[in-house]
Amino acid sequence: MSSSKRIVVTGASRGLGRVMVESFVALGHVVSGCARATMVMQQLHERFGDPHDFQTVDVSDERQVQRWARQVLDRVGPPDLLLNNAAMINQKSPLWRVPTDEFSRLVDVNVKGVFHVIHHFLPAMIERGSGVVVNFSSGWGRSTATDVAPYCATKWAIEGLTQALAEELPAGLAAVPLNPGIINTEMLASCFADDAAAYPSPEEWARRAVPFLLALGPDDNGRPLTVPD
């Protein structure tokens, strides 16, 4: 279909990433996704088939991202919509009790992973002269809470990184830091426990979020946005 978009989604194996993949495919868009969960990526590849593609990639590993980006760009070309969704959260704890390796892992995935994906996809988008980069932030990228300081730190970093990137982009492109809202995912349950059930499911969220994402364009460059209720 002529209105079909090429969409790249990281963290595609579960939660918001999984429902975005399913929704975009159902609407006729071409989706390239990645996650660390090999079995889930294989299942998605078998379920949807060509022209969609799903690969096992750890976004914190630049070599893996570089190899994946080359495959995607060679196969379908630069994405119209690049969704940096992959992220993790720390086990709830005061900052001084967070293990060093856990803090480092959050930075590697939530910040460096976003950089790696941008580094290897964005030049092709700039060369074509169009495309939107959406870096998933959080309410905790614009506010704070106890026991999740490492996660807050990474999402505040995403806000700054994205808005600075937006100032660097040529006309025709956009970079958007996006707060998806509060959704009942495994990540939320790790913080809110049973109270997470009071919030919308990923499927409910996707019915609002997917049209919102597809409508983003150059005029949204640099705007800190939140998926509407």
Residue 16 three-state SS: helix
Interatomic CA distance for residues 98 and 111, integer angstroms: 18
Task: Supply the pLDDT for residue 21.
Answer: 98
Q: What is the DSSP letter of 188?
A: H
How far, in Å, CA of 154 to CA of 42, rounded? 29
The pLDDT of 132-139, averaged and rounded, is: 97
pLDDT tens-digit series, residues 174-195: 999 999 988 876 665 666 666 6
pLDDT of residue 1: 42
User: Can you point out the beta strands (E) in the chain?
Assistant: 6-10, 30-35, 53-56, 81-84, 131-136, 173-179, 225-226
Mean predicted confidence (pLDDT) in 110-125: 98
In the chain the domains, ranked by start, together with CATH numbers, are 6-215 (3.40.50.720)
Q: HSE of 147 in the Cβ direction (CA atoms, 13 Å)? A: 6
Instruction: List the end-to-end C-alpha distance of the chain, in Å, as a whole number.
Output: 30
Quote the mean pLDDT of the chain: 94
Q: Is 151 a catalytic residue?
A: yes
Run of H or E residues at 18 = helix 15-26
Alpha helices in 34-112, H assignment, sequence order:
38-48, 62-76, 100-107
From the list 54, 136, 140, 151, the catalytic residue is: 151
Q: What's residue 164's pLDDT? A: 98
Question: DSSP code of 219?
Answer: G
pLDDT tens for 67-88 read 999 999 999 999 999 999 999 9
